[in-house]
A and B are shown apart, each in its own frame.
Chain A
Amino acid sequence: MRKSNTSVLRSDGLQTLISSLLCILGGLIVGYVVLLIIEPKGALDAIVALMKSFFRFAGRSRMKYLGQNLARTVPLILCSLSVLFAYKVGMFNIGVAGQYVAGACGCLYAALAWKLPWLPCLLIGMAAAALLGVIAGVLKTKCNVNVVISGIMLNWIALYLTNLILGMVKSPMSPYTMNLMGTNPKAKLPSLGLEKLFSSESSVTIAIPLAIVIAVVIYIVLNKTSFGYELKATGHNYHAAKYAGMKEDRNIILTMMISGALAGLGAGLLFLTGIEDWETTISSVPAMGFNGIAVAFLGGLSPIGSILSAFFVQYINFGGGNVDLQVYCSQISSLISSLIIYLCAFVAFFKYIIQLYLRKRKEKQEAQLLKGGEEK
């Protein structure tokens, strides 16, 4: 009996799951402590409101908010797929944030300036983001520039270029781009009746099932195809890949291209729902891409794990908005949710703790066995 217990704990997938749950728990506790320090009176209410997220609404509104949350989970899933795909091939794609921005730029400009229907808009957004990925990949292979460095630089280039380009399709009254539905309703993603499940929430579109399908496709490509085999070999051992006659440089560029396209698709699937317009005066790279990094690691670098962890992060972000602003200042919701997301980076750490615990327990058992033997 004890033996089977141990072997279950030793399975890698379960260790990751437990570690992820521990991360979440840790984040909540730290968040609670911070709330206590600021203002002990409302702390419990605040953390409960945060954890309840959209469940505090009832009936039709609950479904409506669930739909909204799912729509906002989609780009998070795709950004985390972008990160983990590059990571499996040995690269840390911090440029995902800029690629996401480029994707938004491409699809919004195509929709608002050229009045194209949704599919070409989506593809243009992906192409713009893929281009950014390719630049980082080429710099890596031809000039040996670390993709982290080039990624960070490209993030800023993408941001300001996007502000410049989308400034041309800005609404005259505000810093935001023109409203999608008002300008070009053809560009809105189709919903195929899905919105009926979510109290006619307009942001519910095919993006939600599509994101799940893409996660599954990424899983299959990485684990079942010769293409994935080749990419992972390049990531694990560049020299062996070269020795085996794989086109190691092409693989790296291709990976960055796919990684970029995923992030760009994420942006397209958000902005083409019309849930949000681009603010052409923002001066910081949107957190979406960076959150994708946290989501990818919280999900144990598995495409399927990404779906769950992306939903969780969105859930907490939304829940943060429930914190009572009479008691706490308005930044507190972002602070708490980012604390929790931050703690999510500790998956590997908790995994190590679990393994350490298993080893210690085994040694103890052995010591006891030895003692028992001597007493006899």
Chain B
Amino acid sequence: MHETQYAIEMVNITKKFPGIIANDNVTLQLKQGEIHALLGENGAGKSTLMSILFGMYQPEEGVIKKNGEIVKIHDPNDANNLGIGMVHQHFKLVECFSVLDNIILGVEDSQLGILQREKARQKVLELSQRYGLSVDPDALIEDISVGMQQRTEILKMLYRDNEILIFDEPTAVLTPAEIKELLQIMRNLSAEGKSILFITHKLNEIMEVADRCSVLRKGKYIGTVDVATTTKAELSRMMVGRDVEFAVQKDEAKPEQVVLEVRDLSVASKLSKKNAVNNVSFQVRAGEIVCIAGIDGNGQTELVYGISGLEPVQSGSVLLCGKDITHAPIRKRSLLGMSHIPEDRHKHGLVLDYTLEDNMVLQRYFEPEFVDKLGFLRRKNIRTYTERLIEQYDVRSGQGPVTLSRSMSGGNQQKAIVAREIDKDPQLLIAVQPTRGLDVGAIEYIHKQIVAQRDAGKAVLLVSLELDEVMTLADRILVMYEGEIVGQLNPKTATVTELGLYMAGAKKEDV
């Protein structure tokens, strides 16, 4: 009898956490040399399953097999010895180390205790050349963009000659061109016999690159399908359990008074002497969604820092509802009606060691509703408020309001932030990559919320790297390239190709 050889198998895995069954009898079988997609909503148990594969958790039931033989994985070192490598959704990099040092970390080659950096550098450069993963080996992690940090993670895996490669939502932070490249790399890798497990929410990418796809829903194993014989609609139905709208329905925008006005704004760069944002001017009106499009690292982050007050501005001014807030403290901006869904939810968005309820009032704990005159927190009100937000915005967590934020899945952390910021009832909503790392169900929901905010007469400034998101949500698109706004487009008339040309700096107009 011939049996299919599986590179790695996880058979009947069950893992429970307090208040939640993260994996309920899940089976995942990865064939030699295939690209296998793992699809599921936020909190469906994908990350837990992977943590088990890496020995960070031990399952209550089930076994892991490699090439048909049962293996025990106690810690990430065991996984590494079995040739399993992973690019995590949240990078595991040492911030104050260089790219090269991060790549060789743990497998340093040394002679007489002296680190052989030159040899390692050659191998890294060769790998980055071969797979088109451009990195500067000597740059410090804390100084480089999220995109480049991820390329470092991928190189880390390749450097270790891993046979089984796991990509946990690798495309969430990449530009369209980079995604295309990455998918090509994945094809090349699988052609060379490496087995790839590709965790993603993006159905397009699954359709494009994967051979087979396994679906999880709320911790349960739903099934495995051949991608060639399935459709996007079927996959999303398997994942969410109902039909999903891919494009949000929205009416014509009815822009009213100017809410946010940015005049000749310049913000310094931390990386170079050039300004990251250079003489940028634009307006956002009540009742419209203005989207800043562009490739990662063209000044969008710094622009938002300047508007939200996280970094001082070099010159120019910012007006919110007619008031000059250029140098106003962040608290004042917030009280004047600015909400901000930050790009980096771990750095800015959440205090990870606080409970969910403590994070829900991060912007409002000083309001009379949540604190009495003597300065004591009104714990009961905070609990009720959090429970309402959890209910209303479908934030899933193990223990409700008292769940430690660090233990929540990335998507639910993001939902919590979105809930908090929208519920502040702002005049201006700044949303930076609001759906990064979220599944289609959650994306649909957040998109609807953003459109609802617009329809309620709020001004929305959206910064996104995802072309689909830009095209569906925006009423006006501003393209940023090298710190300047190089074009204004109408999403109704513009094409993706045109947008791409502006983003790449090949086309420019005076705005």
Contacts and interface: CB of A to CB of B under 8 A. Distances in A.
Interface stretch (A240-248, A265-273, A339-347): A240-248
Interface in B355-404: 358, 362-363, 365-366, 370-371, 374-377
B322 to A, nearest CB: 21
B346 to A, nearest CB: 8
B58 to A, nearest CB: 7
Interface in B288-343: 308, 310, 329-334, 340, 342
B375 A227 contact: yes
B340 A229 contact: no
Contact of B362 (A225, A239, A244, A363): A244
A233 B362 contact: yes
Contact of A245 (B334, B349, B376): B334
B468 interface: no
Interface string A224-243: 11110110110011011111
Task: Decide if the interface of chain A is mainly helix, strand, loop or mixed.
Answer: helix
Contacts of A239: 347-348
B interface, over-half SS: loop
Contacts of A363: 58
B179 interface: no
A105 B375 CA distance: 34
A123 B376 CA distance: 26
Contacts of A229: 358, 365, 377
B352 A245 contact: no
A245 B365 contact: no
Contacts of B347: 237, 239-240
B354 A236 contact: yes
Contact of A242 (B310, B354, B375): B310
**Max chain B C-beta neighbours (<10 A), residue from A224, A239, A244:** A244
Contacts, number: 67
Contacts of A233: 351, 354, 358, 362
A243 B375 contact: no
A276 interface: no
A39 interface: no
Contacts of B331: 245-247
Interface string A133-159: 000000000000000000000000000
A279 interface: no
B474 interface: no
Given A233-B354, A244-B362, A226 B349 contact: no
Contacts of A243: 308, 310, 330, 340, 342, 348-349
Given A243-B340, A245-B363, A236 B58 contact: no
Nearest to B348: A243
Nearest to B382: A229
A229 B364 CA distance: 12
B60 interface: yes
B306 to A, nearest CB: 14
A366 B377 contact: no
A227 B374 CA distance: 10
B126 interface: no
A245 B353 CA distance: 18
Contacts of A247: 329, 331
Contact of B349 (A230, A232, A240, A366): A240
A366 B60 contact: yes
B351 A245 contact: no
B424 to A, nearest CB: 12
A247 B330 CA distance: 9
Contacts of B342: 243
B446 interface: no
B155 interface: no
B118 to A, nearest CB: 33
B336 to A, nearest CB: 11
A245 B363 CA distance: 7
B350 interface: yes
A174 B102 CA distance: 61
Given A240-B350, A244-B363, A363-B58, 16 more contacts: A224-B377, A225-B376, A226-B375, A232-B354, A233-B354, A233-B358, A236-B353, A237-B351, A239-B347, A239-B348, A241-B351, A242-B330, A243-B308, A243-B330, A245-B333, A245-B363
Interface of B: 58, 60, 308, 310, 329-334, 340, 342, 347-354, 358, 362-363, 365-366, 370-371, 374-377
Interface of A: 224-227, 229-230, 232-233, 236-237, 239-247, 363, 366
